[in-house]
Structure 1
Amino acid sequence: MVSPPHEAMHRIFQDYPGLFTGVSQVLGLTFAPPASVTVMPTDLTEARPVERRVDTLLRFDSDGSTGEDSFLLAIESQGKKDPDKPSSWAYYLSFLCAKYKIPVLLLVVCQDRATAEWAARPVSLSPRQWPALTLRPLVAGPHNMPVITDPDEAGADLALTTLSAITHAKDPDVGDILKALSSALQQVSEAVADPIIEFTAQGLSGNRRAVELWRNLMAVDLSFYKSWLSEEIRDEGRDEGRAEARVQTAAEDVLLVLETRGLDVPDEIRERVTGCDDPDLLRRLLTRAVTAPSAEEIFTDAGEDA
């Protein structure tokens, strides 16, 4: 089953293809700024019943008439070491080069250092005597992606900061990145902020602490954020409000039954009933209130001594 971090690590490049420029610069490579970027079909299935799909495929075209600087960028999200992947990646590159007749580059995005270092190793797919084909993926992960903790720097490139948070999702530093990103998002429009919020939430889903921190940061000003994440937080708030209302009503029912029976309800008992936030205990108190000879005795058989 495809996980949310897996989707976020490659789909963010579909929404923000210019992100590759920042990533490549961080990795020490220089590519000419593209005049256009096209999201390509990801289905690499052959005529025979063998399905092969790259996670994301983009075509970068220069503004030159010859198009000699054009290339395809295949992006793969990798969550763990997989000995079968190098041969699959080599197939992707060979198939794409044969189909589109332009150079192909593979970018692998990871969330842990061990997987990133494994993915970055050159793999020869030929006999040792003659390296006819060697796979050399470009890898982005916590070992080389910047830790962006300055709100101004985060605001200058929201997509790169989001990828920074996703690739560092398992690191102790992720909290500082999220705080910088949250501050930067307060300075942009809702239309710009919403996809960033959601990509970040998806990419962090493997780290419960990071997810809770991001949710708390997003809950600071829910009037601004209208994404599914904020709606989920609002729904939780409404559920909590309804639960509190049910508890309050149950407490009032207990007191109403006692008063209707003409029993004296001392202030101490009234405070104990209204201060109870346990729905199960309140149901037992209500049952006892129907038959108890005094208000004090509703607690005797309700699981709590008077």
Structure 2
Amino acid sequence: MVSAPHEAMHRIFQHDPGLFSRVSRFLGVDIPAPVKATALPTDLTEANPVERRVDTLLRLETADQGPYLLAVEAQGKKHPDKPASWAYYTAYLWTKYRLPTALLVVCQDHATAKWAQQPVSCGPPQLPTLTVQPLVAGPHNMPVITAPEEARADLVLASLAAITHAAEPGVDAILKALSTALRDAPEDIAKPLVEFTAQGLAKRPAKNLWRNLVAVDLSFYKSYLAEEVRAEVRAEVQAEVRAEVQAEVRNEASAESRAEDILLILEQRGLDIPEDVRSRITHCTDPELLRRWLARAVTVPRAEEVFGDA
């Protein structure tokens, strides 16, 4: 089963196909912005029973260089079989569509990113035949966007920056900048980015910060994430109210029991208990005051003196 971060790392490119050209400058290449983009089927299975499926596949068209294919793979950890799969993807797509094929691998940790960008050849050293070396986007080269103005200039890139830095110390600052920038964005723009970011953070500690930011900074915005936080806040408030009520009930029960003890001691000592004394004792709800009266009830010569009034 694929994880939420896995889905966020590649689906964000489906959401905004032009993101690849903006990301490319951080990867050391210059990819023209597309003038047209088409999402293609991701199933690369042939007649044999082995299923092969790329995460995201886009057909991008540029004004100067013509169309090309972009395969986006989300990689959460090192996997020895992946380079062979990537080689298959690119060779198959090139053969099927007869278009130049680019491969982008998106990672969330330095070790996986370093591993993914190493060239892998399918042939012997002296006969490389087919070499796969994908472009890799990860915490090592994606920008750390901490200024709301910078995040506002490219909200999708800021979301990707948060996703790729999900495990990095600087992610909190990125999330705060992104949430601030999203305040001014229309809901149809903010909504998918809020969800992509939440998916990318998954169960990492930063997820709690993002949920709180969405609930507070984007309080106008309705989403499962914001509603989830608000529901938790309501549950916490209700739990606190229940705890207070239960404490009051326990205090009342304790006060009633202590009042009964005071009257019992006075009665057992054979003291006359006037009605005003009995009423004052039974109506008292102060546990500390009742404790003092209980101590005096053992020694006072008259019931009226249990209160210790001057």
TM-score, normalization by structure 2 = 0.80
The residue that corresponds to 1:226 in the other structure is 222
Deviations 1:51-85 (A, max 9, x none): 11101111102357xxx621110000111111110
Give ranges in structure 1 of 5+ residues lacking alignment.
Answer: 272-293, 295-306
Tell me how far apart the structure 2 counterparts of residues 114 and 231 of structure 1 sit (CA, whole Å). Answer: 36
Tell me how far apart the structure 2 counterparts of residues 258 and 163 of structure 1 sit (CA, whole Å). Answer: 58
Deviations 1:215-234 (A, max 9, x none): 22222245322121101001
Which of 114, 117, 120 is equivalent to 1:120?
117
Amino acid at match of 1:205: A
Q: Number of paired residues?
A: 268
The residue that corresponds to 1:22 in the other structure is 22
Tell me how far apart the structure 2 counterparts of residues 198 and 158 of structure 1 sit (CA, whole Å). Answer: 13
| Aligned-partner SS, 1:220 | helix
| Aligned-partner SS, 2:34 | coil
Which of 269, 273, 276 is equivalent to 2:287?
269
Distance 1:270 1:232, change over 3 A: farther
Tell me how far apart the structure 2 counterparts of residues 259 and 144 of structure 1 sit (CA, whole Å). Answer: 66
Amino acid at match of 2:32: A
The residue that corresponds to 1:58 in the other structure is 58
Distance 1:255 1:174, change over 3 A: closer
Q: Which segment is superposed worse, 161-170 or 219-228?
A: 219-228
The residue that corresponds to 1:77 in the other structure is 74
**CA offset at residue 248 of structure 1?**
3.7
**CA offset at residue 242 of structure 1?**
2.5
Amino acid at match of 1:177: I
The residue that corresponds to 2:32 in the other structure is 32
**CA offset at residue 189 of structure 1?**
1.4
Distance 1:90 1:250, change over 3 A: same
Tell me how far apart the structure 2 counterparts of residues 167 and 155 of structure 1 sit (CA, whole Å). Answer: 18
| Aligned-partner SS, 2:72 | strand
| Aligned-partner SS, 1:8 | helix
**CA offset at residue 45 of structure 1?**
1.1
| Aligned-partner SS, 2:105 | strand
Give ranges in structure 2 of 5+ residues lacking alignment.
Answer: 261-281, 295-310
The residue that corresponds to 1:46 in the other structure is 46
Alignment of 1:250 with 2:281, yes or no, is no
The residue that corresponds to 1:142 in the other structure is 139
Report if the CA contact (8 A) 1:190-1:224 is conserved.
no
Amino acid at match of 2:131: T
Deviations 1:158-203 (A, max 9, x none): 1111111111111111111111111111121122111111111111
**CA offset at residue 33 of structure 1?**
2.2
Q: Which segment is superposed worse, 153-162 or 259-268?
A: 259-268
Report if the CA contact (8 A) 2:152-2:181 is conserved.
yes
Mapping for residues 130-279 of structure 1, pairs under 5 Å? 130-208=127-205, 210-254=206-250, 264=282, 266-269=284-287
| Aligned-partner SS, 1:193 | helix
Amino acid at match of 1:211: K
The residue that corresponds to 1:11 in the other structure is 11
Deviations 1:66-122 (A, max 9, x none): xx6211100001111111100010001111111111111110000111110110011
The residue that corresponds to 2:272 in the other structure is none
TM-score, normalization by structure 1 = 0.81
- Alpha-carbon RMSD: 2.2
Tell me how far apart the structure 1 counterparts of residues 121 and 2 of structure 2 sit (CA, whole Å). Answer: 28
Tell me how far apart the structure 2 counterparts of residues 27 and 260 of structure 1 sit (CA, whole Å). Answer: 74
Amino acid at match of 1:171: E
